[in-house]
Amino acid sequence: MGMFKTCCLLTSAVVALSATMGLSTAAAGEAKAGEGSTAHQALKKLVKGNARFVSGQMKHPNLSAERRAELAKGQSPYAVIVSCSDSRVPPEQVFDAGPGDLFVIRVAGNIVGDDAQASIEYAVGVLNSPLVLVMGHENCGAVGAALKTETEGTAFPGAIHDLVESIRPSVQSAMKRAEGDGVLEAAIQDNAERVVAEVADSKPFLDQAVAEKGVKVLAARYDLDSGKVTFYDHHVAHDHGLDHDH
Residue 240 per-residue DSSP state: T
Sheet (strand 79-83) strand order: 102-106, 79-83, 131-137, 216-222, 229-231
Q: Which of 86, 96, 121, 150 binds Zn ion (CB under 5 A)?
A: 86
Please say which residue, 126 or 167, places its beta carbon nearer to Zn ion: 167
Q: Least distance to Zn ion from the beta carbon of 87, Å? A: 10
* Contact flags string 131-150 toward Zn ion, x per CB under 5 A: ---------x-x--------
Q: Which of 46, 84, 102, 123 binds Zn ion (CB under 5 A)?
A: 84
H or E element at residue 12: helix 3-20
Residue whose C-alpha is closest to residue 226's, from 86, 83, 97, 55? 55
Strand partners, 81: 104, 133
Where in 9-68 is the site for Zn ion (CB under 5 A)? none
Per-residue contact string for residues 96-135; x = within reach of Zn ion by CB under 5 A? ----------------------------------------
Taking the complex as a whole, the smallest distance from the CB of residue 142 to Zn ion amounts, in Å, to: 5
Instruction: Decide if 227 contacts 54 (C-beta within 8 A).
Output: yes
Interacting residues toward Zn ion by CB under 5 A: 84, 86, 140, 142
